[in-house]
Amino acid sequence: MIHLKTPEEIDVIARGGAIIADFLVEIRPRIRPGVSTLELDGFADDFIRAHAGAVPAFKGLYGFPGSVCTSTNEEVVHGIPKADRILEEGDLISIDVGVKLDGWCSDSAWTFPVGEIDEEAKHLLEVTEDALDRAVAATVLGGYVGDIGAAVVTRVEGTGLSIIRDLVGHGVGREVHEEPQVPNFGRAGMGPALREGMVVAIEPMLSWGTFEIQTLDDHWTVVTQDGTRAAHFEHTVAVTAAGPRVLTVAPAEAPA
């Protein structure tokens, strides 16, 4: 069942989301060649716990060992932070972060370049981030969950990139993952109606090659089947009478 949130509950989720937004600003200068993904994970854990009442929502979730997911290059999601995964010039790294604050979760992800990246990688990042923006804009009262995926499809068509179809966005609330599922590959007018108080994580994932994925032997890391690079951008968004409210932004970035 889909749990609708009150405006007060949405405000708490937004406070957790602001911690994530601040973290994503602070982590950026730390993402450079020579840094391990485990170091980034340690910074994330310290940063989140420095806020009273806040814990990393992914730590131990379904047994996940890290405080954030760090997925590089052909890794799409759920990469485990490692001491021996040292970032190199030209890599892409997606950092997926969940915060639980006063019992409420928020969820966001961003894909960063490591040093200078090639034109192919820039194109991948630009289109995926833009697909997220379009999907957020489609998250309006009177619409349907399928409109969100349809917005991603419309943006990605003609770019040569593929939408990862087997991984989806989701409702967010007391739990990181709630109903409904929010596919990135949708048809307008289909799926559950978007209702006031729904809070969803919207998270398009695109690859340079195939949309097909597989999970590595570590039982976590999801990679593209053909080894081409992937990107992942995610925001937690509330459906409100005033339009989509992005909750994983710093207060200064929040639209008036």
For Mg ion, the binding residues (CB under 5 A) are 96, 107, 109, 201, 234
Closest CA to 154 of 121, 185, 192: 185
Strand order through the sheet with 178-182: 178-182, 169-171, 199-202, 235-240, 243-246
Nearer CB in complex with Mg ion: 120/246: 246
Nearer CB in complex with Mg ion: 33/65: 65
Nearer CB in complex with Mg ion: 73/108: 108
Nearer CB in complex with Mg ion: 9/96: 96
Q: How far is the CB of 184 from Mg ion (least distance, A)?
A: 11
Q: How many CA atoms lie within 13 A of 243 on its CB side?
A: 8
Nearer CB in complex with Mg ion: 91/107: 107
With beta carbons less than 8 A apart as the criterion, state whether 20 and 105 touch. no
Nearer CB in complex with Mg ion: 86/177: 177
SS3 state at 84: coil
Cα distances from 122 to residues 70, 119, 165, 182, 235, in angstroms, run 19, 5, 22, 26, 20
Q: How far is the CB of 124 from Mg ion (least distance, A)?
A: 18
| Pairing mode, strands 222-224 and 213-215 | antiparallel
Cα dihedral 192, 198, 199, 202 in deg (nearest 10): 30
Closest CA to 40 of 27, 53, 57, 58: 27
SS3 state at 198: coil
Look up residue 86 and give its DSSP letter: B
Nearer CB in complex with Mg ion: 171/191: 171
Q: How far is the CB of 68 from Mg ion (least distance, A)?
A: 9
SS3 state at 28: helix
Q: How far is the CB of 89 from Mg ion (least distance, A)?
A: 26
Q: How far is the CB of 227 from Mg ion (least distance, A)?
A: 23
Q: How far is the CB of 232 from Mg ion (least distance, A)?
A: 8
Q: How far is the CB of 64 from Mg ion (least distance, A)?
A: 11
